Structure 1
Amino acid sequence: MMKTKYIINIANVQTVDEIREYWSNEDYISLLDKFNYPDAQDSKPENLRELLFMAITDFEPSEAAKVVLEYKLGDQLSDGQIEQISNDMLMDTVCEEYPDMDLQAPLFHITQLLFKAYNGKFPSSSATIINCSITSADTKDSSLTKEEILRLFNDGLSDRNIVKRLFADQMEGKVAFPEAEDIIWELKNSGKDQYQLTTSGNLIKKEEIIASNWESAIEEVEEN
């Protein structure tokens, strides 16, 4: 089985409490309508976010949470789940604990929108944005997958890291790693081996990246 070696160089790591780009002006206009703000489409784009915050705070926090959850996740969650999460969000960082990993990213964005609107009434969470270069010893040019990148990060992460502890066999390449698709929320490859990955600040903390550069290798997983 062939192994390919890579050199990983970390350019910078940021901890952020929101990713504004997640919400579009169309989202703001749709949500303003749901929060009974008329003619939002006639407002200046740069005012939409503040208008939404004002509209949101006319509602009780759990009611506002329900509206945003229904808007973003109504096709993935039942009414009962939305009711439960809208109450839990006021006490816990649901986005870090929710068992369905594919919902952790949207729950983060929803929580932080509400956190900002209510000026801290909701528990805050964080995201980690990592900019790095990953250079192959092989001359062929290929984009790495989320699974491959997480495996390459195995040697650069502290043993305290929750991903390494929960997914040890997957990170070491012993078994397939479908969870990687949800652990890395967004992966951008800007070319020339430059990558940006966004993940939960709970799953990969800035201080858990213990090296600025290292060498690692990955190989294809054998199918049973």
Structure 2
Amino acid sequence: MMNYQIVIQNIDTVNEIEGYWSDEDFIALLEKFNYPDGATAEKSSLPELLEMAISDYEPNEAAQIVLHYKLGDQLSEGQIHQISNDMLIDKVCEEYPEIHMQGTLFHVNQLLFKAYNGKFPNAKASIVHFSMTPNDGEPQKLTAENVLKLLNNGLSDRNLIKRLFENQISQNIPFPEADSIVWDLKTDDDTNYDLVTSENWINKEDINESEFESILEEAEDVV
């Protein structure tokens, strides 16, 4: 087991994660929205061209096209149809029961939110900036599961992860859902981290303590 000193420096609340959609994505989507000249367009103008191309379609039609592009291999036609209608009313990306799809649904939702100037609900993401320093020994690269377990001591009891996964986050048992809750985890030095997740999972109000200690236990093998 290892004792860590944790400092939560800041939580940024954002409407989109920069760099999620690549130029290739924009060009492929432009083609699906009947704009075949994306490949020859200025790279910097691709997001704007796509917004214009999308807005020529009915919102639920556009949602179906983008959902097909991103999740067509995981969702049936019926599910895509259902989600495309639900997205106009609810933040599906926060409520969808398959939590490994929530991150992708967030990015789809926000692309459509921008293109239609607000016809879709505005969902938000959190970028949590923090450091995790072992009290003795060298820093090691931490997984999403390690990080959530170490953050547990600083989270309020109202936090959704704590409420839904109380045993997994607080006990030395596997927490496979951590990889779906944490959309992205970056570190250059295995000490300072940036974690991307839904505002629904972690937001500014969820932080009880900005500096605290936590113990990371070696995972026990499940027989």
Could you state the TM-score of these two structures normalised by the residue count of structure 1?
A: 0.96
Fraction of identical pairs, as percent: 55
The answer on whether the counterparts of 1:173 and 1:221 sit within 8 Å (CA) in structure 2 is no
Where does 1:14-53 land on structure 2 (aligned, <5 Å)?
14-53=12-51
Say which of 32, 49, 54 aligns to 1:56: 54
- 1:77 is aligned to 75
Can you give the 5+ residue segments of structure 1 that lack an aligned partner in the other structure?
none
Structure 1 position 220 matched with structure 2 position 213: no
The answer on whether the counterparts of 2:11 and 2:128 sit within 8 Å (CA) in structure 1 is yes
Where does 1:60-139 land on structure 2 (aligned, <5 Å)?
60-139=58-137
Deviation string 1:40-59 (CA, Å, 9 cap, x unpaired) is 11110111111100000000
Supply the AA of the counterpart residue of 1:28. F
Say which of 177, 180, 185 aligns to 1:179: 177
In the alignment of these two chains, the number of paired residues is 222
CA distance in 2, matches of 1:22, 1:180: 20
Where 1:132 maps in the other structure, the secondary structure is: strand
CA distance in 2, matches of 1:40, 1:172: 49
The answer on whether the counterparts of 1:128 and 1:198 sit within 8 Å (CA) in structure 2 is yes
Supply the AA of the counterpart residue of 2:167. D
CA distance in 2, matches of 1:190, 1:92: 37
The answer on whether the counterparts of 1:186 and 1:197 sit within 8 Å (CA) in structure 2 is yes
Supply the AA of the counterpart residue of 1:6. Y
Structure 1 position 11 matched with structure 2 position 37: no
- Offset at residue 192 of structure 1 (A): 5.1
Where 1:130 maps in the other structure, the secondary structure is: strand
User: Root-mean-square deviation (CA), in Å?
Assistant: 1.1
CA distance in 2, matches of 1:195, 1:33: 37
CA distance in 1, matches of 2:204, 2:101: 22
Where does 1:120-159 land on structure 2 (aligned, <5 Å)?
120-159=118-157
- 1:202 is aligned to 200
Where 2:36 maps in the other structure, the secondary structure is: coil
The answer on whether the counterparts of 1:12 and 1:130 sit within 8 Å (CA) in structure 2 is yes
Deviation string 1:40-99 (CA, Å, 9 cap, x unpaired) is 111101111111000000000000000000011111111111111001100110000001
CA distance in 2, matches of 1:204, 1:141: 24
Where 2:13 maps in the other structure, the secondary structure is: strand
Deviation string 1:107-161 (CA, Å, 9 cap, x unpaired) is 0000000001000000111111011110012313310111111011111011100
CA distance in 2, matches of 1:79, 1:138: 53
Supply the AA of the counterpart residue of 2:30. L
Where 1:69 maps in the other structure, the secondary structure is: helix
Cα 1:192–1:166, aligned 2, differ >3 Å: closer, same or farther?
closer
Structure 1 stretches of 4+ with a deviation exceeding 3 A read none
CA distance in 1, matches of 2:189, 2:68: 37
Supply the AA of the counterpart residue of 2:162. K
Supply the AA of the counterpart residue of 2:204. K
Could you state the TM-score of these two structures normalised by the residue count of structure 2?
A: 0.97
CA distance in 2, matches of 1:119, 1:25: 22
Say which of 158, 167, 170 aligns to 1:169: 167
